[in-house]
C-alpha cells in the first residue's frame, strides 16, 4: 500500500524504526506484566507517545496533565511510569512515599536538558519581579525554582491566572510560550529551548502534506514552530487532539506530533484515517527518548522494581508547591 505522500509504509506503518515483537512473545510478556502488576498492587501510567504494546497494557494513557492528575490520586503502592524521566519525577514528587519506577531511566527530554537549574536561577536573579511559569518538561530542580507549573493542556489557563502585576518568565519551551502569548495577549520573557522532535516539522513539509490531503484538517502540538502552527486548524495538547478528532466530521485528519499518538487516535476513532505529518526528511516523527521504553523493559522494571526515581526531600518539598498550584488552577471551572 502506498499513499499520496509517495512513501511506502513498512509493516507497522507509523513505527518504522522498530521490528515488531513476535505475537507469541508479545502475548506472553503482556500477560506477565498484568500478573506482576496485580501482585505488586501497581498502576501503569503511559504517555500517548509510548509504543502501542505499552499503551495496550497501561491502566491509563494520556497527556502530561492527565498523567499528573492520575499520579496525584492513585491508590496503588507502586507507580510504573511509561514516559520520560521528568514525568516519573513528577509522580514521585506527588507520591514521595510510594515506589515510582520507569522502564528506562535514560529516557530524557531535549527541553529538560536545555534548561539547567543554575542557569535558570541566574536569569531569575536579573529581575525580582519575575513570576516563573514552567512547562512540566523540566527537571525537579527547575520545578523547585518555579512559581507554577503548566502543561500544554492547561498553559493558557495557568498564564491567564498569573498575577497581573508580575513580569512573566516562561521556561523552557519558546514555541509553547509564544503560542500561549498569542492566545492570552500576555507578553512573556521566553527561555530559548525547544522540543527537538516537534521542530522537525517544517512549513514546507506540512504544506506538501496539506496539498496531498486537501480535505483533511491539520492538528498540531503547540511545541511546533509558529511556521507550522499557522497552517493548523487546531493547536492543542495530545489529549485535546483526541477530543478534536472525535468531534470532527472529517474522515481523514493530519496529525503533527510524535507518532505514538496515532495508535491512541486509531483506538479512540476507529472509523477515521490518521495521517502522521511528515518532517523534512522522513515520514515518521519519533521522540527517541519516549521510544527508549519497550515492553521488555517494562516487564523487567516491574520484576526488579528498578530503576526507581529517588529525589531529595528538600527538592520534593519545593517542587511540590508549584505542581499543586497547577493542579488547583486546572480544576477551577
Ligand atoms: P502533552 O502530551 O502533554 O501534550 O505533551 C507532549 C510532550 O511532548 C510530552 O513530552
Ligand atoms: Fe521532550 Fe519532545 Fe520527547 Fe516530549 S517529544 S519528551 S518534549 S523531546
Per-residue model confidence as pLDDT tens digits over 57-108: 999 999 998 998 898 887 899 999 999 999 999 999 999 999 999 999 999 9
The answer to whether 216 touches 253, Cβ cutoff 8 Å, is: yes
The cell 510478556 sits on which residue?
Answer: 29
**1 CA to middle of ligand 1, Å?**
31
For 83-183, list the strands marked E by DSSP.
99-101, 130-135, 148-150, 167-171
228 by Cβ neighbours in 10 Å (0-12 / 13-18 / 19+) ranks as buried
Nearest Cα residue to 274 out of 10, 14, 56 = 14
CA dist 222 and 207 (Å) reads 17
Please tell me what DSSP assigns to residue 130: E
Phi, psi at 91, each rounded to 5°: -60, -40
Q: Is the peptide bond before 174 cis (omega within 30 degrees of 0)?
A: no
Which ligand has the nearest atom to the CA of 238? 1
With the most atoms of ligand 2 within 8 angstroms of its CB, the residue from 47, 49, 137 to mutate is 137
For residue 151, the ligand 1 atom closest to its alpha carbon is 3
pLDDT, tens digit, for every residue of 205-262? 999 999 999 999 999 999 999 999 999 999 999 999 999 999 999 999 999 999 999 9
Length of the chain: 333
Average pLDDT of the residues in 296-302: 98
Residue in 45, 64, 82 to alter for ligand 1 test, most ligand atoms within 8 A of Cβ: 64
CA of 83 to the centre of ligand 1 (A): 10
All cell numbers assigned to 223: 511545541
Asked if residues 302 and 80 have their Cβ atoms less than 8 Å apart, the reply is yes
CA nearest 63: which of 49, 73, 75, 74?
A: 49
**For residue range 10-41, what is the model confidence (pLDDT) as tens digits?**
333 444 457 888 999 999 999 999 999 999 99
Give, using CA atoms, the residue closest to atom 6 of ligand 2: 109
Q: Please tell me the distance from the alpha carbon of residue 42 to that of residue 56, in angstroms, as a whole number.
A: 16
Site to substitute for ligand 2 among 67, 290, 291, 293, most atoms within 8 A of C-beta: 290
Question: What distance in angstroms lies between residue 170's CA and the mean position of ligand 2's atoms?
Answer: 17
Mean pLDDT calculated for residue range 161-185: 98
Mean pLDDT score, 274-290: 88
Q: Please name the residue whose Cα sits nearest to atom 3 of ligand 2.
A: 287
Going from the Cα of 98 to the center of ligand 2, the distance in angstroms, rounded, reads: 25
Q: Give the binding-site residues of ligand 2, using a 6 Å CB cut-off.
A: 84, 109-111, 137, 195-198, 223, 258, 287, 289-290
132 C-alpha to ligand 1 centroid (Å): 20
What is the DSSP annotation of 265-325? Answer: HHHH-TTSEEEEPP-SS-S----TTGGG--HHHHHHHHHHT-SBP---HHHHHHHHHHHHH
**Structure confidence by residue, pLDDT tens digits, 105-123:** 999 999 999 999 999 999 9
pLDDT at 17: 57
Per-residue cell: 61: 494513557
Q: Which atom of ligand 1 is nearest to the CA of 258?
A: 8
d(CA 149, CA 133): 6
Output the CA 198–ligand 2 centroid distance in Å: 8
Starting at the edge strand that comes first in sequence, how are the strands of the sheet with 234-235 ordered?
234-235, 218-220, 252-256, 273-276
DSSP string across 194-213: --TTGGG--HHHHHHHHHHS
CA angle 78, 80, 82 (to 5 degrees): 170
**pLDDT for residue 8:** 30
Angle between helix 64-73 and 85-94 (nearest 10): 30
C-alpha cell at 213: 490531503
Cβ atoms of 301 and 307 within 8 Å: the answer is yes
Which pLDDT band, with edges at 50, 70 and 90, does 9 fall under?
Answer: very low
Counting ligand 1 atoms within 8 A of each CB, the residue from 89, 193, 223 with the most, and so the one to mutate, is 223
The CA 168 to ligand 2 mean position distance, Å, reads 23
Amino acid at each position: 500500500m502506498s499513499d499520496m505522500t509517495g512513501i511506502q509504509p513498512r509493516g507497522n506503518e507509523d513505527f518504522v524504526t522498530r521490528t515488531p515483537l513476535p505475537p507469541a512473545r508479545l502475548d506472553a510478556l503482556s500477560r506477565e506484566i498484568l500478573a506482576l502488576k496485580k501482585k505488586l498492587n501497581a498502576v501503569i501510567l503511559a504517555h500517548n507517545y509510548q509504543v502501542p504494546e505499552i499503551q495496550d497494557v497501561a491502566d491509563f494513557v494520556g497527556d502530561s496533565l492527565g498523567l499528573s492528575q492520575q499520579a496525584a490520586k492513585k491508590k496503588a503502592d507502586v507507580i510504573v511510569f511509561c514516559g520520560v524521566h521528568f514525568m516519573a519525577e513528577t509522580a514521585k514528587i506527588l507520591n514521595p512515599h510510594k515506589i515510582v519506577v520507569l522502564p528506562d531511566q535514560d529516557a530524557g527530554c531535549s527541553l529538560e536538558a536545555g534548561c539547567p537549574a543554575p542557569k535558570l536561577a541566574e536569569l531569575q536573579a536579573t529581575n525580582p519581579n519575575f513570576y516563573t511559569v514552567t512547562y512540566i518538561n523540566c527537571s525537579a530542580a527547575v520545578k523547585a525554582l518555579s512559581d507554577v507549573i503548566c502543561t500544554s493542556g492547561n498553559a493558557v489557563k495557568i498564564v491567564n491566572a498569573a498575577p497581573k502585576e508580575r513580569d512573566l518568565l516562561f521556561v523552557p519551551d519558546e514555541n509553547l510560550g509564544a503560542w500561549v502569548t498569542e492566545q492570552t495577549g500576555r507578553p512573556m520573557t521566553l527561555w530559548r529551548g525547544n522540543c527537538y522532535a516537534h521542530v522537525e516539522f517544517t512549513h514546507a513539509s506540512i504544506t506538501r502534506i496539506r496539498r496531498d490531503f486537501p480535505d483533511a484538517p491539520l492538528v498540531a502540538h503547540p511545541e511546533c514552530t509558529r511556521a507550522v502552527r499557522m497552517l493548523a486548524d487546531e493547536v492543542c495538547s495530545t489529549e485535546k487532539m483526541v477530543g478534536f478528532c472525535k468531534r470532527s466530521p472529517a474522515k481523514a485528519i493530519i496529525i503533527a506530533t510524535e507518532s505514538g499518538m496515532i495508535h491512541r487516535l486509531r483506538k479512540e476513532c476507529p472509523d477515521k484515517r490518521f495521517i502522521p505529518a511528515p518532517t523534512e526528511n522522513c515520514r515518521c516523527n519519533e521522540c527517541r527518548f519516549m521510544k527508549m521504553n519497550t515492553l521488555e523493559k517494562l516487564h523487567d522494571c516491574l520484576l526488579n522494581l528498578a530503576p526507581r526515581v529517588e529525589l531529595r526531600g528538600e527538592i520534593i518539598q519545593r517542587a511540590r508547591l508549584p505542581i499543586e498550584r497547577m493542579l488547583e488552577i486546572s480544576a477551577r471551572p
